[in-house]
Amino acid sequence: MMMIFGGLTGACWASFLLCQAWRSTQNGPQPARSYCPACRGPIAGYDNIPVLSFLILCGRCRQCRAAIDPLGWYGEIAGLVGGSLVIRQPPSVIAFAVLLSILAASDLYRYSFTDGWFWIGAAVCLACAWQTLHWLPAALIFAAGILPVYYRKLGDGDWEVITLAALLFGLTPVLLWLLVASGLGIVLILLRRGNQHQPLPFLPVLFISLLVLISR
Ligand SMILES: [Zn+2]
């Protein structure tokens, strides 16, 4: 029952986050209600059900039949799976997963995130785990990231998130997490060979990798 509740909450949460992140990339005034990017017609509530509506509509707008970007649907599935897995975790893991979901949704569409969200989320995570913080692993990860960030091989946002994870969970889980994320990143880069002009946003990869580790 907990898993179903977590999954439904996660899917709705992901749908909301992805919609907000996508909207933030659009210029000019936008309708207050959900709308189709192609015909700008409003999307009815029954066509806006996370995960299901995309399937029922076969990935097309009901009015103009334009194809819907599947990226949002993938994100909703990640939210569904993520919510059902995360709900049974300790508070620090839940707080970190929620923070990472916000940053990953933003990274997916904007290749960046608002620093304020990171610091608010980091404060909540630290409050959940303040008795068991891993200072030395965090210092090591922080130091290891200086050169890659300087030479732009690693985004500074990714660096902040990974350092926070080391502070919360210690060195071994974080190294394992990075190993899974690197493998997944390589697979995704190979899969999108036709679309190499866009860099791969790393925070969504880190979010999926977190779910892989939690599901063990
Ligand atoms: Zn349309």
Question: What would the pLDDT profile of 159-204 be if each residue is shown by its tens digit?
Answer: 999 999 999 999 999 999 999 999 999 999 888 876 667 778 899 9
| 87 neighbors 94 (Cβ within 8 angstroms) | yes
pLDDT at site 194: 66
- 9 and 72, same domain (yes or no): yes
| 117 in any annotated domain | no
pLDDT of residue 153: 84
191 CA distance to ligand 1 centroid (A)?
A: 28
Residue 159, domain member (yes or no): yes
Helical spans, DSSP H, in 87-193: 91-110, 115-128, 135-150, 156-169, 171-191
60 DSSP β-pair partners: 67
Domain range for residue 3? 1-88
Distance 45 CA to ligand 1 centre (A): 15
Residue 61 lies in a domain: yes
Q: Does residue 165 form part of some domain? A: yes
Could you give the CA distance from residue 137 to residue 143 in angstroms, rounded to a whole number?
10
Task: Say yes or no: 134 and 197 in one domain.
Answer: yes
Number of domains in the chain: 2
Ligand 1 centroid–CA 112 distance in Å is: 28
The predicted pLDDT at position 189 comes to: 87
- Rounded distance from Cα 59 to ligand 1 centre (Å): 11
| Residue numbers in the chain where pLDDT is lower than 50 | none
Which residues make Cβ contacts (< 8 Å) with residue 142, sequence separation at least 6?
159, 163, 166
Assess if residue 205 is contained within a domain: yes
Pairwise CA distance, residues 36 & 41, whole Å? 6
Residues 128 and 63 in one domain: no
**Residue 67 structure tokens:** 């194809």
Confirm whether 198 is domain-assigned.
yes
Residue 56: partners with Cβ closer than 8 Å, 6 or more residues away: 47, 49
Same domain, residue pair 210 and 163: yes
Q: What is the pLDDT of residue 198?
A: 75
Beta bridge partners of 42: 35
pLDDT computed for residue 193 by the predictor: 74
CA of 203 to the centre of ligand 1 (A): 30
Tokens coding 45: 């509530």
| Domain's final residue, options 36, 63, 88 | 88
Rounded to 5 degrees, φ, ψ at 52 are -75, -45
For residue 33, give the DSSP letter: S
